[in-house]
Copies of this chain bind each other. A is one copy, B any other.
Amino acid sequence: MTVSIEAGRGAAAPGDAFNGDCPGRTVLNHVCSRWGTLILLSLRDGPVRFSALRDTIGGISEKMLSQNLRTLTRDGLIERSVEPDSPPKVSYALTDLGRELTIPLEGLLDWIGSRTIEVVKAQRRHDRQHKPGA
């Protein structure tokens, strides 16, 4: 089995995302999930409240938002804080760990912002060539 482990080391690198059994894969899946990236990026400019997140991220349900928020909090990437008011005010913010992560994520977002048009063109080109319709 091609599980080449760094000579001598007792364990495979935990951060190896290519290895389906490594924690790194789990982290990748949390961060790079349907909603994870958008949630993290929504927090770039400071703490944001639950309802604001829901409004910022088009199409997310409260259930999914809540669920992802819990996962990312557990991962130490974001932090939850409650102001004991009535009605309650809960906001979420990036931790230092999470903030590091937004650097490549922002690069990804920027790329999408500028290159999506190219992708759409490619899709159309592809569809024309492969569905020579009648």
Chain A residues with a Cβ under 8 A of chain B: 2, 13-25, 27-29, 31-34, 37-38, 42, 55-60, 73-77, 97, 100-101, 103-123, 125-127
- Asked if B119 and A23 sit within 8 Å, CB to CB, the answer is yes
List residues of chain B with CB within 8 A of the CB of A29: 34
- Asked if A117 and B58 sit within 8 Å, CB to CB, the answer is no
- Asked if B108 and A31 sit within 8 Å, CB to CB, the answer is yes
- Asked if B15 and A117 sit within 8 Å, CB to CB, the answer is yes
A contact face: mostly helix, strand, loop, or mixed: helix
List residues of chain B with CB within 8 A of the CB of A24: 112-113, 116
- Asked if A27 and B119 sit within 8 Å, CB to CB, the answer is yes
List residues of chain B with CB within 8 A of the CB of A19: 58
Are A113 and B59 also in contact (CB < 8 A) when A76-B122, A118-B97 are? no
List residues of chain B with CB within 8 A of the CB of A28: 37-38, 108-109, 112
Are A116 and B23 also in contact (CB < 8 A) when A32-B32, A111-B101 are? yes
